[in-house]
Structure 1
Amino acid sequence: MKNAAMALGLVAAGVSSAWAQSSVQLYGILDAGVRWTSNANAGSSKNQLIPGGMSQSRLGINVTEDLGGGLKAIANLEHRLNSDNGTQAATDFWRQSWVGLQSSEFGRITLGRQYNILFDIYTSTYASFKYSPYIEAYKPEIGLSMGARQDNMVKYLAEFGPVRGEIQVSAGEGNTQNKSFGGLLRYAEGAFSAGGAYLQVEDTLGKKVKGYTAGAGYNDGPWYLNVSWATNKFDRGGLLGAAYTSGLLGPVLNAAANDVKKRDMVSAGFTYQATPQLNLGAHYWYATQTHYVVSTSKSKGHYLAFVADYAFSKRTDAYVELDYTKHDGAVRFQNGAEKRGGAIVGMRHRF
């Protein structure tokens, strides 16, 4: 009896120890910058304190629990906020909210509101800058990511050596605009990475938006180089046109936000680490767009940005950013301007 009790005690201690292998991590970014924009208000310039120059400010929680046998339970909640006034950055309080299982042998499956595969392949494989995937206040490439996130998503990720694959499926549930499916494939070995992805989203009218992207990155010593291509194709008369075309730096399409037929973008850029603290980067994006109604010719967009980023520590950095935009054809800014310049001086802290 005494031996049995001891054995049960050892088992209980082992189970308690296994259950104790869990962690809850609080993380976040606070970013704020002073931005100047030309042709912002009926041709006049605009000065403002923006809540995110290089990164959108956020507060998040990561949860990991070791279930034993190479299996982990994982979860994430992430809230986006405006650092300039403390308000909520979007109508959805949680910009990410998912739970899942991760296996060392079989990969990872997650369920909930998550980044879509277009965003995943871009930020993991051929991001615009080495020290920040994109410029939060100036991100034309994210305008082709079809919302960057989807609700009601099931995503599966698996890695086999240098190869990673992902599949996503989102349930439209009869009354939302995010019924989707797609996949990505990525290869990364040493300094080189390349990949591509396809995503289709369907609205409640049965109209579809299809997105494709491919690109590569090279990171060796102080140099990081990247090149990418992306396209979105829109069914005529769909409900997603306004949502998925407004992300390209805020231009309107002659008051016909659902008039986009096809949008293509190619881009290339580099980052050079001049010193252990100082990174210098530049990126150029070129977009073309065809329309169903307003024009039979192509609209064009030219986008150029330069960034200097100085790291005071691993967590705190300051940056200076310059950007220039020029539109041709049916695309204009909301005040009718075709050209616009901008500059940001800001500071960012990660924790």
Structure 2
Amino acid sequence: MKKHIIAMAALCACMSAASAQTSVTIYGIVDAGITHVNNDGPNGGRTTVEAGQMQVSRWGFKGVEDLGGGLKARFGLEGTLLNDTGGAGVPTGNPSTTSLFDREATVGLTGNFGSIDFGRQNILGVLSVGMADPMGLAFAATSPNVLFAAMNHAGVYGAYGANGSGTALRQNNSIRYVSPSFSGFGFALMRAFGEQAGDSQRNSYVGASAFYNAGPLNLYGAYARMKNNPTNLAVSPDLLHSHAIGVKYTMSRAVLKSTYSENKLDSTGRKISVFGAGVDFPVAPAITLTGAFYNTRRSGDVKDDSQQYIFITRYALSKRSTAYFSYGHAATDRIVSATDINLAQGFVSVGSDSANRLTVGVMHMF
């Protein structure tokens, strides 16, 4: 009898040790608000309820297993939530398909050597402009840094890289390495494979980035090159070059942030650049004010320019819930045409050259 008790105790101890070495977390963000745009094209103003205003609504799973000796296995699965309609995932491609985990689907290892992950994941430019974005990646559907700097505009960048005709912001079939920090300095390398027979360069992505995180100063920089896959195999793939830098400086009473990016297409010389600057200013323990400015410019083939001014007030209801109010103004140098690239996509409508936006909403994290 004593032997059975000892055996059971040993088994329970082993199970406890195993469970202590492995963890799986379910997490997410549910964000929605009411928005009014005063000049939504020739038809006038428009009022809508939108999901993912302050942060994109999402849900996901992440897990880690301690393998010993400082080595850990990990995975991440994350998908978009469209909680204004109850939908999930973002349709991409032609014919259209919706991925359950459209934001991330990775598995990898992490340890003293850094980390290496395989699957669908963000491009390295997101680490540069994202960490220093003047709005903290708020209003992703209309943010110049998300649409152009991070290449989340499917109509402009969807053909480039291994993204399944979605947006170049995330790449399928990729491998990414991130180094450990060396006194604040580090770097990352990433490659996404187009998996096209006879030419591995078609629909491919290659990127590199460097960063510095020490004390109040944070610096980020990234470079990438992507290729498309012309339907005529006799035609060489077109090449897209991307550069992005970000700077964040934390002061006692404010956080200053600035970013710059440019993406240039070899075939036409088209270049789209985005400059952003902003400040976070806590005015009370639960209240933070944010002011941001963006200038988006097209050159090389067609000249165009757009500006956005955004003001945000965030009120922390708790550690996980935030209420927010925002005012935004956007203007373009010319009337937006249905046949051209809209540098104020999602903000200024076709037939207009400016718009004002008011938003009130709530964000909850779990």
**What is the TM-score normalised by the length of structure 1?**
0.83
Change (3 A) 1:349 1:194: same
Contact kept? 1:299, 1:331, Cα under 8 Å: no
C-alpha separation between the residues in 2 aligned to 1:204 and 1:87?
31
Structure 2 partner of 1:148: 169
SS in 2 for 1:138: coil
Structure 1 partner of 2:292: 283
Which aligned runs of 4 or more in structure 1 are off by greater than 6 angstroms? 9-16
Structure 2 partner of 1:266: 275
Contact kept? 1:145, 1:211, Cα under 8 Å: no
Structure 1 gap ranges (5+): 1-5, 238-259
Give runs of aligned pairs for residues 168-317 of structure 1, distance below 5 A.
168-174=190-196, 178-205=203-230, 206-236=237-267, 261-290=270-299, 292=301, 295=302, 298-317=303-322
1:235 counterpart letter in structure 2? D
The root-mean-square deviation of aligned C-alpha atoms, in Å, is 2.4
Structure 2 partner of 1:54: 54
Q: CA deviation at 1:335?
A: 2.1
Q: CA deviation at 1:178?
A: 4.0
Name whichever of 65-74 and 146-155 sits farther off: 146-155
Change (3 A) 1:82 1:11: closer
Contact kept? 1:19, 1:67, Cα under 8 Å: no
2:174 counterpart letter in structure 1? M
Contact kept? 2:316, 2:323, Cα under 8 Å: yes
Structure 1 partner of 2:361: 346
Q: CA deviation at 1:350?
A: 0.3
C-alpha deviations, 1:289-329, integer Å up to 9, x for none? 0253xx4xx21111110000000111001000111111114
1:303 counterpart letter in structure 2? Q
Q: CA deviation at 1:38?
A: 2.2
Structure 1 partner of 2:133: 127
C-alpha separation between the residues in 2 aligned to 1:320 and 1:49?
14
Give runs of aligned pairs for residues 58-137 of structure 1, distance below 5 A.
58-91=58-91, 92-95=99-102, 96-103=104-111, 105-124=112-131, 126-129=132-135, 132-137=136-141
Contact kept? 2:144, 2:274, Cα under 8 Å: no
Contact kept? 1:54, 1:137, Cα under 8 Å: no
Name whichever of 261-270 and 214-223 sits farther off: 214-223
Q: CA deviation at 1:236?
A: 2.7
Name whichever of 203-212 and 273-282 sits farther off: 203-212
Structure 2 gap ranges (5+): 1-5, 92-98, 152-167, 231-236, 335-339, 343-347
Q: CA deviation at 1:14?
A: 6.2
2:171 counterpart letter in structure 1? Q
Change (3 A) 1:282 1:261: same
SS in 1 for 2:82: coil
2:242 counterpart letter in structure 1? G
Name whichever of 154-163 and 324-333 sits farther off: 324-333
Give runs of aligned pairs for residues 35-50 of structure 1, distance below 5 A.
35-50=35-50
Name whichever of 168-177 and 188-197 sits farther off: 168-177
Q: CA deviation at 1:15?
A: 9.2
Structure 2 partner of 1:251: none
1:277 counterpart letter in structure 2? A
Contact kept? 2:41, 2:351, Cα under 8 Å: no
Q: CA deviation at 1:115?
A: 0.9
C-alpha deviations, 1:249-283, integer Å up to 9, x for none? xxxxxxxxxxx701111111101000110000010
Structure 2 partner of 1:28: 28
Question: Taking every aligned residue pair, what percent have the same amino acid on both sides?
Answer: 27
Match of 1:163 among 168, 176, 185: 185
Q: CA deviation at 1:17?
A: 2.6
1:337 counterpart letter in structure 2? S
Q: CA deviation at 1:76?
A: 0.6
Q: CA deviation at 1:182?
A: 0.8
2:329 counterpart letter in structure 1? Y
**What is the TM-score normalised by the length of structure 2?**
0.80
Contact kept? 2:226, 2:241, Cα under 8 Å: yes
Contact kept? 1:64, 1:75, Cα under 8 Å: yes
